[in-house]
Amino acid sequence: MSRRAFDPFWLVLGLITGSYLLFWLGLLGAAAVHSSPHDLWHALQTREIRYAIGLSLVTCTLTAVLSLLLALPVGYLLARGRFPGRAWLDAALDIPIVLPPMVVGLCLLIFFQTVVGHLIERVMPFTYTVAGVVLAQFVIGAAFAVRTMRGTFEHLSERPENVALTLGCTRARAVWLVTVPAARRGMFAAASIAWARSLGEFGPILVFAGATRMKTEVLPTSVWLELSVGNLEAAIAVSLVMVALAIVVLASVRLLGERV
């Protein structure tokens, strides 16, 4: 039996990938060994950090659901719609991704100082509130979810949906009965990406929702607040909690994504 000749091409690619992975593991390892289990446990016992964990989980989940609700129709429109200005709309929807996060927060803050913003806040206050945290996360998380759903719909054949039209469906019903169920993996991925992106969101939340303890403090805010008072151990402990949550989300996406 002949063996394939050794190809250094794959070795080089493997070395590059391994180096990158090692670098990341080194960063996480350095943070982990800098903190002790006692510090981690102590940090997790504080009322403020437990509140921040709870608020992060709730707001990220709300943001993921809202992002998915927006990404479904917008992603479908971008993937299947044929209309003038489609390329411009596509580019415009990427703006939250490329804007510096602080600028997104500043834009939100300024918008809610306008007449329209004041009218909205009469019904539901956003500035320096938990709703503001969700909105700041949503502005960026939704942009990533839209990208994912657009890609999902582009990869799904349009033909089953067209057959459903000939069988008596309206376009909306054909999409609902045929295309949306077929897009469930993409929906799961879109919600997961929005959730994970929201977990790490800091700049827009700081500017728009503030960093008030026991009110608008989410996990990235906790890291910043602890660092600002020189409590490095607590900052590291909170960071490790975020790393653990990120790993759980990544693992869930991989495991559940295969089954959905």
Which segment (38-46, 119-127, 172-180, 236-244) binds another protein by CB under 8 A?
Answer: 172-180
Interface with another protein by CB under 8 A: which range of 37-45, 158-166, 199-207, 241-249?
158-166
Nearer to another protein, 43 or 164 (CB): 164
- CA neighbours within 13 Å on the CB side: how many for 105? 17
157 touching another protein, by CB under 8 A:
yes
Span interacting with another protein, options 45-53, 86-94, 177-185, 220-228, rule CB under 8 A:
177-185
Q: How far apart are CA 227 and CA 229, in angstroms?
A: 5
Q: 48 to 107, contacts with another protein by CB under 8 A?
A: none
Nearest to 245 by CA among 198, 199, 192, 194: 199
Q: Which of 165, 232, 244, 247 is in the footprint of another protein by CB under 8 A?
A: 165
Q: Which of 81, 100, 160, 250 binds another protein (CB under 8 A)?
A: 160
Report which residue type is found at 204.
Answer: P
Count of CB atoms within 10 A of residue 229's CB? 9
Give the 3-state secondary structure of residue 139: helix
Q: Does 26 bind another protein (CB under 8 A)?
A: no
Interatomic CA distance for residues 249 and 251, integer angstroms: 5
> Least distance from C-beta 70 to another protein, angstroms?
23
User: Do the Cβ atoms of 198 and 60 come closer than 8 Å?
Assistant: yes
User: Toward another protein, which CB reaches closer, 34 or 171?
Assistant: 171
Task: For residue 241, count other CB atoms closer than 10 A to its CB.
Answer: 20
**Where on the chain is the footprint of another protein (CB under 8 A)?**
157, 159-160, 162-170, 173, 177-178, 181-182, 184
